[in-house]
Amino acid sequence: MDSSFDELIDRAMYLGVHQVAYPIDILGTARLLAEHASDDADFERILSLVSDPENHFTRWVAIRAIVILGPASVAKARETLSVRMTLEGFPLARQELHNALASTTE
């Protein structure tokens, strides 16, 4: 992990907290997150953003970043988040994730 990745995580969280984002903000931040994710710890941090039950912009950034990372990341995210969200009970995030991943893998 590097400081630029930490700044990107902060940017994604900022979009969610302030509930203000344009599609270019979401897609741009997601692309940058995907480009800067360098190890499993970075991937886990992206996954943790999907679990935010209140900040849908943050979730959208994370979901899009996972899709940009490619099919292997999508499969890993689906498996990990399916178990995690079933246990933690985030039905809205789970629904958004499944809808987003289904639309990109069909």
DSSP character string of 46-73: HHHHHT-SS-HHHHHHHHHHHHHH-HHH
Spatial separation of the C-alpha atoms in residues 61 and 99, rounded to whole Å: 14
Q: How many domains does the chain have?
A: 1
Neighbours of 35 (CB within 10 A): 14
pLDDT digits (tens, 9 = 90+) for 37-91: 989 999 999 988 887 767 778 888 898 999 999 999 988 988 887 766 555 556 6
Domain that holds residue 86: 3-105
State mean pLDDT over 88-101: 68
State the maximum Cα–Cα separation within the chain, in Å, rounded to a whole number: 35
| pTM attached to this predicted model | 0.72
Backbone angles phi, psi at 6, to 5 degrees: -60, -40
